[in-house]
Amino acid sequence: MIYLDNSATTQISGEVLDEMMRIYKDIYGNPSSAHKLGQKAKELIELSRFKIAELLNANPEQIIFTSGGSESDNWALKGVAFKKKRGHIISSSFEHPAVLNSLKFLESQGFEVSLVNPNEHGIIEIKDIEKEIREDTFLISLMSVNNELGTIQNLEDLSILSRNNNILLHSDGVQAEPWVKSDFKKSNLDFYSISGHKLHGPKGIGLLLVKDRESILPLINGGPQELELRAGTENVALICALSVALEQKNKNLQEVIKKVYNLHKYLEKSLKEKLTGIKINCEDAPRIPSISNISIKGVDKQQVLTLLSMEDICISAGSACASGSLSPSKALKAIGLSDEEANSSIRVSISQFNTQKELDIFIEKLSSIVKKLRNEEVV
């Protein structure tokens, strides 16, 4: 099996899995219980919180564990909106569905939303956000890295704009976090979403960094867990596993970036040499080193995915959370692609566990499939 869909989810690392299983087996007490096993579980949660705070340069009380990126995004948007009760939110038209659908819900509750389109390079221009600011704008939400294109957004300048206008700023950092050494204090963000399974950690765990707990209301009510901001019995094993995943990521970051960058460069160069009628979308934009979004003239993306899957090669046509949609990708349409181009586009996403040999096999199989679909002679 050749797995090239790492933007959808990643292979869990051995060290992370070992830590998770150890805690599931030995430290199974409820962290809210007063007995020794419960208090040991509680201690592990707080040790993980302190470790992650150090890794992300945040205060421990700013880290609230969630079930993943979608919950973190939902909470950041709805928790702030419910606190404000009315007003205006600015975001982009190519956010993750967790953001876009949360905004649709908030519109149904009387809030007003403005969505800014990216330019043809997959970048949201700060001047376009600035044009949308109103007196009642209370929140801007912009993903750090687009999950389909891999384009890196300018959060540094956006944070200055939001501060100057006294507007809260949230970023979905799910795709960015594997490739950066985050510094929450320096970022000037108010909220930042992270998901464990994009970091070679487990599914079902993430966090929301909250700069000021007074700026947001809980989304889940119940007990006093997570500093009284998120009720529910904590999953100790997953929290500790997330801590290990983030620690490993920071420790090996430069080595991993170098390896994946070289694989990414090799992939795109080889595809352009091997196939005609292909376009690397947003090729000249600043991108993370893992994602390649490729339009292939004269083919249907679903046919390509199915035929590659039959060869035990896993890629995608875009966001996993929107994979059930038959409509062209909103992200690709937003950068100006036609329906035909969007419906012929695939996403290949590489991780540290991939090899050049795997890419060679993928390129050869893809080339053969494309030629067959185009009714070209296969040599």
Q: What is the pLDDT of residues 92-132, one digit of tens each?
A: 999 999 999 999 999 999 999 999 999 999 999 999 999 99
Residue 279: the pLDDT is 95
Q: What is the mean pLDDT of the chain?
A: 95
Q: Is the model's pLDDT at 379 over the cut of 50? A: no
- 274 membership: H or E segment, kind and range: helix 236-274
DSSP code per residue over 144-209: SB-TTT-BBP-HHHHHHHHHHTT-EEEEE-TTTGGGS---HHHHT-SEEEEEGGGTTS-TT-EEEE
* pLDDT one-digit tens code per residue, 32-58: 999 999 999 999 999 999 999 999 999
Nearest to 136 by CA among 81, 87, 84: 87
Average pLDDT of span 148-175:
98
Could you give the CA distance from residue 145 to residue 159 in angstroms, rounded to a whole number?
15
Give the chain's length. Answer: 379
Predicted local confidence at residue 326, as pLDDT: 59
Which sequence spans correspond to the domains of the chain? 2-9+253-373, 14-248
Report the topology of domain 14-248. Answer: Aspartate Aminotransferase; domain 2 (3.40.640)
What is the predicted pLDDT for the residue at 328?
Answer: 81
Residue % of the chain over a pLDDT of 90: 94
Mean pLDDT of 276-300: 96
Q: Answer whether 148's CB lies under 8 Å from 331's CB.
A: yes
pLDDT, position 329: 86
Q: For a pLDDT cut of 70, what percent of the chain falls above it?
A: 97
Distances (CA, A) of 330 to 49, 153, 335: 36, 17, 9
Mean of the pLDDT values across residues 248-266? 97
Say whether pLDDT at 172 is over 50.
yes
pTM, 2 dp = 0.94
271 vs 280: CA distance, rounded Å: 9
CATH fold, domain 2-9+253-373, is: Aspartate Aminotransferase, domain 1 (3.90.1150)
Q: Taking the C-alpha atoms of 265, 270, 276 and 280 in order, what is their torsion angle to the nearest 10 degrees?
A: -10
Please name which of 259, 272, 287, 284 lies closest in space to residue 353, comparing C-alpha atoms. 259
Q: Is 227 helix (H, G, I), strand (E, B) or coil?
A: helix
* Per-residue confidence band for 322, with pLDDT thresholds at 50, 70 and 90: low
**Strand segments (E) across the chain:** 2-3, 63-66, 88-92, 112-116, 137-141, 168-172, 191-195, 206-210, 278-280, 291-296, 313-314, 345-349
Predicted local distance difference test score (pLDDT) of residue 22: 97
Contact (Cβ atoms closer than 8 angstroms) between residue 146 and residue 331: yes
**Residue range 81-86: mean pLDDT, rounded:** 97
The residue whose two tokens read 């096999």 is: 361
For residues 310-336, average pLDDT: 79
Task: Name the residues annotated as catalytic.
Answer: 321
Q: List, in order, residues 6 or more apart from 24 with CB less than 8 Å away.
A: 237
